[in-house]
Every structure is written in C-alpha cells, then in structure tokens.
Amino acid sequence: MCKIKGIGIPDLRNRTLYVPLSRHGYPRATDVIEYRLEELPLHLHDRFMVQAKTVESAPTETQREELAKASGIKGVLHLSNLGSLRFPQSFPYDFMHLIWENLIPNLVLFWSGCYKGMDNGQPYVLEPHIWQVVGATSAEATKTIPSSFGASIPDPAKDCSYFTSSMWSVWSLFITPTML
C-alpha cells in the first residue's frame, strides 16, 4: 500500500478519482507531477502508527477529518496492540477481486478493443478474427480439461458476462499461456 493521491476530472459532477502515475497536463495543482513505479511512496509500519496517533489526537473534529482525508488513515486501531501484526504487510487484499474480477477482465477488454472506446488503433488490440479464434479455441479446449482443474468456460470472445472469477482463473492459468 502506498500514499499515492487520487485526482478527479475537473468541473465534472462525477466524483470518481483516478490514480495515474503521470499527472503531466493535469490542469490543477498537484503535489507530485510524476510517480515512479519503482519508487511509490510506500506506507511503512512506524510512520503509519505515528500518523494514526496524529489523526487521533487532533484537537477538533474538523481538523481530525482534514488529517484523515489527507492521509487516508482515520485513527488508531485496537488491532495495533498486537505486536505480531505489521501495517500494512499483515493486511493483504484478496486476490479474487484484484485479479480475477478486475485485471483479467480489463485485459480482455483491451485485447478485444472494447475498453471504454479508448482502444482505436492501439497496437495491443488483436484483430477481430484472431480474437474470435482465441475465444472459440478456448471454449473448445475446456472439453478436454478435467473438472478437477476448475469450472468449464464459455467463449470469452462471445460471453464475457457469463465468466465467474473461477472461470477467469482457469482461462488465464491453463489456456492463455499457450494461446496468447
């Protein structure tokens, strides 16, 4: 976990925040113009604890909220009494939502050129006929994979919405290495 700051689209009702590494050309003032992937400002245990105490001991509720908003840390927590826990190393995010339900389906949208209409002419987009063959071959391959490896999968070029996270896992672990 790191201290990267989210930025919103200026003058838009939509309050979704994004975390691009580069903020070049962003119209508003930002603390950091460019984050380097190898040098993200990581959270460290001791500083995390100090920050939590600072937030906790803020003199007024408003100041506390401001500090919490700036750091993302809302205060001291009871679990921090346990010396066997490290912040944030002991708090992993689950793999299913991050990879099988987010990264892989998004990669598929990129490859098939369907990512929010932003892929026109991008070099990573597969030709439609190639992507259809990949899809059909994947669905065909599922017939000869024993069920103990996981769920059988539909054609990713046709029925992406039917994919569950366990199907994405079967597809990306056992089928794509030979296909893509």
Partner 1 sequence: MSRLNESGKARRTFSYMPLIPRLRVFMSNRAYATCLQYCADEHAKTCRNGMTTDIFDGLHYRLLLGERVVAGDQHLAHHYFLDHHDIALGFATDGFAPFKKRKQTVWILFVFNYNLPLDQRFQQDNILCVGIIPGPKKPWDADSFIYPLVQELLKLAVSVSAYDALSHSIFALHAYLITAFGDIPAVSMLMNMKGHNGTSPC
Name the site residues for partner 1 (rule: CB under 8 A): 1-6, 17, 19, 52, 68-79, 81-94, 96-97
Please answer whether residues 17 and 8 qualify as being in contact, where contact means their C-beta atoms are separated by less than 8 angstroms: yes
Question: What is the closest distance, in whole angstroms, from the C-beta atom of residue 38 to partner 1 in the complex?
Answer: 16
Q: How far apart are CA 110 and CA 89, in angstroms?
A: 31
User: Cβ closer to partner 1: 52 or 153?
Assistant: 52
Question: What is the closest distance, in whole angstroms, from the C-beta atom of residue 83 to partner 1 in the complex?
Answer: 3
User: Cβ closer to partner 1: 88 or 125?
Assistant: 88
Distances (CA, A) of 40 to 45, 47, 154, 179: 15, 15, 38, 33
Question: What is the closest distance, in whole angstroms, from the C-beta atom of residue 88 to partner 1 in the complex?
Answer: 7
Please answer whether residues 155 and 137 qualify as being in contact, where contact means their C-beta atoms are separated by less than 8 angstroms: no
User: Cβ closer to partner 1: 74 or 110?
Assistant: 74
Q: How far apart are CA 151 and CA 168, in angstroms?
A: 9
Question: What is the closest distance, in whole angstroms, from the C-beta atom of residue 94 to partner 1 in the complex?
Answer: 5
User: Cβ closer to partner 1: 39 or 127?
Assistant: 39
Q: How far apart are the first and last CA of the chain?
A: 31
